[in-house]
Amino acid sequence: MDLRVEKWPIPEPKDGEVQVSIHSTGICGSDLTLYSKGFIGDFVVRQPMILGHESSGIVSKLGKGVTNLKVGDRVALEPGIPCRRCEFCKIGKYNLCTDMVFFSAPPHHGTLTQFTTLPSDFCFKLPDHVSMEEGALLEPLSVAVYACTRAGVTIGKRVLVAGAGPIGLLAMMSAKAYGASEVVITDISQSRLDFAKKMGADHILLVDTKDVREMAGRVKDSLGGRMPEITIECSGAESAMQMAIYATKSGGVVALVGLGAPDATLPIVDAACREVDIRAVFRYCNSYPSALELLSTGRVNVKPLITDRFSIEQTLEAYDAAMGRSGIKVMINCTRQ
């Protein structure tokens, strides 16, 4: 793909919208897929578009009728704008809106830019002690919060997280904040697992075998012979999804967060005979307030996840660094240098 920095017109806010001067934008796995492949499922890049959707910034202009924000407010941006009229929006499941405008999901432009506009009610004011970079990470943290909500993580639950990438790490930390008694996390990278241990994982397991039943057994052993009631699968790998089902306690829940191949072979009969619920997780819904509460109160610390920083002029280098996967989260400063 051809990635470049260009000058584009500065957008003006419409009624009910605000213009935001973007400060920080993180690079997401979906951004990397669009960059390297040019598509994610049915979302295909057919014309030049701006990437990015993990962002924070400063309100720079108000559209007509905006009363909840003022110029100068520091805000995190929720990047999925639903139609507000369909049946999914009306029942509060707006993440399933079929007319969703999601930043950086083709053909919609993203937020890796100096200015953008969006409805004011999809901006969340940041407390003074919360940094702009932390505000940008509210987006992936909201994915983790929604996954914990969908999976039913509560006090005393034992949780397995498959995949120690940014979403998996945030899912692990969110599960701990939600009261999980023990969290075990798996990955194919020992360095990622070591990082997860520093961030609060109770147990780490290196995936060094293709035998998914063996891995499920190791999960049980790590928890003292008990199986996790909840598994949050964040890798999208077919083998990890299979292991998730085998590893989860009968009557438990497997939440599928990671997006991999369009089709996967899963042990459905095993899940059915043991009443293991399989629940899909698509982005998030009404999760930003809870994510902001976890972050602002210090119950989840996202700062150590930011391992690489670049200016917007260094975007190509930033994406190359993210593709190398040597760090955890790459952050781009979008302000004028």
Give the right CATH number for 143-280 from 3.10.20.30, 3.40.50.720, 1.10.3720.10, 3.40.630.30.
Answer: 3.40.50.720
Name the pLDDT band for 70 (thresholds 50, 70, 90). very high
Average pLDDT of span 97-117? 95
pLDDT tens-digit map of 100-109: 999 999 999 9
As a whole number of angstroms, the distance between CA 280 and CA 299 comes to: 26
Does 239 have pLDDT greater than 80? yes
The whole-chain average pLDDT of the chain stands at: 96
pLDDT of residue 39: 81
Does 191 have pLDDT greater than 90? yes
Tokens matching residue 89: 């929006």
Name the pLDDT band for 327 (thresholds 50, 70, 90). confident
Output DSSP code: residue 219: H
The Cα-based distances of 164 to 45, 110, 169, 306 in angstroms read 28, 26, 5, 14
Q: Where are the domains of the chain?
A: 17-137+302-333, 143-280
Name the pLDDT band for 337 (thresholds 50, 70, 90). low
* Three-class secondary structure of residue 289 per DSSP: helix
Give the right CATH number for 17-137+302-333 from 3.90.180.10, 3.30.390.50, 3.40.50.300, 3.30.420.40.
Answer: 3.90.180.10
pLDDT tens-digit map of 27-42: 998 899 888 888 877 7
CB 216 within 8 A of CB 246: yes
Average pLDDT of span 187-192? 96
Q: What percent of the chain has pLDDT over 90?
A: 90
Does 4 have pLDDT greater than 90? no
pLDDT tens-digit map of 131-162: 999 999 999 999 999 999 999 999 999 999 99
User: pTM value?
Assistant: 0.96
In the chain, alpha helices (H): 29-37, 87-90, 132-136, 138-151, 166-177, 190-198, 212-222, 238-247, 268-273, 288-296, 315-324
Q: What percent of the chain has pLDDT over 70?
A: 99
Beta bridge partners of 49: none
Name the pLDDT band for 1 (thresholds 50, 70, 90). low
| DSSP secondary structure string for all residues of 120-180 | GGGEEEPPTTS-HHHHHTHHHHHHHHHHHHHHT--TT-EEEEE--SHHHHHHHHHHHHTT-
Average pLDDT of span 113-136? 98
